[in-house]
Amino acid sequence: MKTNHNYIISNSKDLIDDVADIAIDNFRDKDRQFSSGKGKGVQMKNWKPFTDFVLNKLVNKAEIINGEALLPADGRPVVAIASHGPGVAWMPLAALAGKFFINNGYGDIIGGIYPHKALFLIPGLKGYYKRVLGTPTEVNTVDGIVDLLKNHEIGLTGTAPEGANCLLSFNDYVAPFRSKGMIAAAIKADAGICLMAHQGAESWNIRVNLPLGLNIPFTNGVKGVNIPLPPYRKIRHYIVLCKRYEPSITSNDLKNRTKRQSRFLINIEVEKIRAEMNRMTDEVRDLMKEKTVKFKAAKQQKANTWQKKVLQIQSRLFPADEAYG
We report the CATH number of the domain holding residue 173 as 3.40.1130
Would 187 be classed as within a structural domain? Answer: yes
What 278-286 contacts at long range (C-beta under 8 Å, 24+ apart), as own/partner pairs, is 278/172, 278/173, 278/174, 280/195, 280/197, 280/241, 280/243, 281/83, 281/173, 281/174, 281/197, 281/198, 281/199, 283/197, 283/241, 284/197, 284/198, 284/199, 284/239, 284/240, 284/241, 285/199
For residue 259, pLDDT beyond 60: yes
162 versus 108: the higher-pLDDT residue is 162
Whether residue 83 has pLDDT greater than 90: yes
For 27-47, the pLDDT digits (tens) are 343 344 444 444 478 889 999
In a domain, 292, yes or no: no
Residue 318 lies in a domain: no
* 62 vs 93: CA distance, rounded Å: 9
Give the Cα separation of 308 and 316 in Å (integer). 12
- For residue 122, give its domain range: 2-285
Q: Is 87 part of any domain? A: yes
Total tally of structural domains belonging to the chain? 1
Q: Is residue 313 part of a domain?
A: no
Q: What DSSP line would sit under 218-265, residue for residue?
A: TSSSEEEEEEE----S-EEEEEEEEEEE--S--HHHHTT--HHHHHHH
Mean pLDDT, the chain, integer: 84
Which tens digits make up the pLDDT trace of 201-255?
A: 999 999 999 998 888 888 888 999 999 998 888 999 999 999 999 999 999 999 9
Q: Does residue 305 lie in a domain region? A: no
* Residue at 13 is within a domain: yes
Domain presence at residue 204 = yes
